[in-house]
Amino acid sequence: MQDYDNVKLTFKHHMPLSNAESKTLDTLISIKSGSAYSIQKNSDLKHYSTVLRALKKLEKKGCVKAQTEMIGARGKKSYVPTHLGKLTQYISRDEKNQVFRLFTSSSHKFREMVDSDLKGIEKWTYDIAVGIIWNWNAHIHADSKLRTIDEIVEVQVEDEINEKLLSIQEESVEKIIELTKVKWIKKLAIKLVIDTTDWYKKQIEIYNKLQETLTTE
């Protein structure tokens, strides 16, 4: 699992923002949505063109999204911050509580983990944050599916359970049982245990055939 320092380094490396981009994103998060003009008006950025350039770069990075409708007499675009944009700013400012609130408000699966008093929820928060940035990079560079936060939460939990199953020990069993306090995770764990059992049965069949071949004179 990730620790917070690794999360910060990951975002700093994969989502670097210029001063203008950071201020533009900060303002947009504050006003929730708006055009380049409204952002410039509500920030200390002096030039409209600076905000416009920053918005285009932020949109390319996945930090803001242009709304479909156009606003104003000249038909200027309106923008909203994405989850990735909010997350990038919260992590850069060490606003861990905001990261937590973002996930609880955006993912019912994460909220169920919190409500079930799951151990290590802070570490899960960091894993999900890193999962979001990796998913965005895969989407940009490999045309992978852009997942919702709910989907990323499930992928992180599934990876954790699979890792424990493939190196099963008493400690691993205890950790999986702890996770199954959450109803949706229990359903997932049952499926993964069945799938892993079936896989091992097939492996045993292969080993048995190999043993038979090697011991037959």
Which pLDDT value is given to residue 67? 86
Which pLDDT value is given to residue 142? 86
Which pLDDT value is given to residue 116? 95
Which pLDDT value is given to residue 42? 95
Which pLDDT value is given to residue 122? 93
From residue 137, alpha-carbon distances to 41, 69, 142, 179, 215 in Å are 32, 27, 8, 28, 51
Which pLDDT value is given to residue 17? 96
> Which residue(s) pair with 76 in the sheet?
71
What lies within 8 Å, CB to CB, of 143 at 6+ separation is: none
Distance of alpha carbon 99 from alpha carbon 12, whole angstroms: 16
Which pLDDT value is given to residue 128? 96
For the chain, 217 residues long, give each residue's pLDDT as a single digit of tens. 678 899 999 999 999 999 999 999 999 999 999 999 999 999 999 999 999 999 999 999 999 999 866 555 554 789 999 999 999 999 999 999 999 999 999 999 999 999 999 999 999 999 999 999 999 999 988 888 999 999 999 999 999 999 999 888 888 899 999 999 999 999 999 999 999 999 999 999 999 999 999 998 7
Domains and CATH numbers, the chain: 4-85 (1.10.10.10), 111-217 (no CATH)
